[in-house]
Each structure stands twice: as structure tokens, then as C-alpha cells.
Structure 1
Amino acid sequence: MDKMISAENKQIINRIHCIKGHVNAVEKMLIEDRPYDEIIFQLEAIRSAVAKTTSVAAQHYANTCISETLQNGDKNIEALKKPIEILMRVSQYKVLSNE
């Protein structure tokens, strides 16, 4: 039985495919003995893509936790402690993005 993939998960999967493409490009560049400035540029693209993907996943997780807490009428702030901690940790990746 095929499971429906949410729009949020599709977005993350698409970003992972992009990251894989960058990693494959770096491997090919190393095999071809390309200049390191080009390789470093690709590595920076990987780092940026991972940071953005992490931010998107963290936002989705926080939104899900908040929605579930509100739907359940839970007034216990402890239910939001973990998503807040994750958003704070991820915020070191610069700006949280809605891309």
C-alpha cells in the first residue's frame, strides 16, 4: 500500500535530491582533479542546502507540534518545549526560511 507523502515531506525530499546532486558533483570534480576553488564553491552550496533543509524540517516539526497542542486544547507549555528547543538550535543556521 502506497502512503501519501505530505507536501512538507515532498519539499524536504526535493531539497535532499538537490543536496545529493551537489555531493555527486563534488565527487566528480575531485575525480577530474578540478581546481579547489570550484570544489569549495560546491561544498558551500551543500552546507547552505543542508542548513535550509534543516530549517524547513524544524519549522514543519514546530508547526505540527503547535497545531496538535492547540487541537487537543493542551494548555501545558511542556508540550511545546521540545520544538522550541529545536528551533533555537536550528536558528544558528542563520534565518529560518519558508522556501
Structure 2
Amino acid sequence: MENPVNEVVCHNESDTSCRKSHHPEPVKKNLTTRLNRIEGQIRGIKGMIDKDVYCDDIITQLSAIQSALNSVAKILLEGHLKGCVVDRLSEGDEEVLDELVVTIQKLMKK
């Protein structure tokens, strides 16, 4: 049986490629809007570099992008905590706590 290109085949429930989040449509729209804005900012920085814009001005724009990415991460983390983590804990899956610690450590490296 052939699979469509974007279909994920799940062999068992512990396979992390099978997990999906379930964001409400308004949250998805918010995240997409923010990421589109960030994408535009990155294109703008590329243009600034091509035009030899003063380094400090580029660094200021990079800082704004980092802040915007942190906002996206906060929204995703909140949804993850209130949705995925709560659901998995209620199913008795305490492994999610170890996963969450690693995720938070990754976010704090930045």
C-alpha cells in the first residue's frame, strides 16, 4: 500500500514522529502570522546586508527577530503544557515530564 507524501505512518504509539499537536485554529493563525512576519524580517536583514547597512542596525533587527521567535516559543510551550503534557500525564505517561525538562533546557540555552 502506497502512502501519500505527507502521510506519517505510525508503527507504535511511542514513535515520536507519530505525535501531533492539536492547536485551535485561532492559535494556528496567530503562529502562522507571527512566523510570516519573522520570515519577512529575515528577508529584510538579507537586503540590509546586501546594501551594506551599518552593523548595529542589523544587530538591532536580529534582536527583534529573536524576541519574536521567543514569543512563538512561549505560545507553543503554553499549548504544549496545557494540552499535550496534561493529556499524557492523565494517561499515566510520566515520561512526558523528562521530555518537557529537555525542551525547557533547549529554550533556556538561547
Q: TM-score, normalised by structure 2?
A: 0.62
Flag as ranges the 4+ runs of structure 1 deviating above 4 A.
none
Q: Relative contact order (C-alpha < 8 Å, sep 6+): which is higher?
A: 1
Q: Which blocks of at least 5 consecutive residues in structure 2 are unaligned?
A: 1-23
Q: How far off its partner does 1:67 sit? A: 5.0
Q: How does 1:58-97 map to 2 (within 5 A)?
A: 58-66=77-85, 68-69=87-88, 74=91, 76=92, 78=94, 80-81=96-97, 84-85=100-101, 88-89=104-105, 92=108
The structure number with the bigger radius of gyration is 2
Say whether the 8 Å CA contact 2:85–2:97 is kept in structure 1: no
Which structure carries more helix by proportion?
1
Matched letter for residue 101 of structure 2 = E
Q: TM-score, normalised by structure 1?
A: 0.68
Q: Number of residues paired by the alignment? A: 87
Q: Which blocks of at least 5 consecutive residues in structure 1 are unaligned?
A: 95-99
What is the aligned-residue RMSD (CA, Å)? 2.6
% same residue: 22
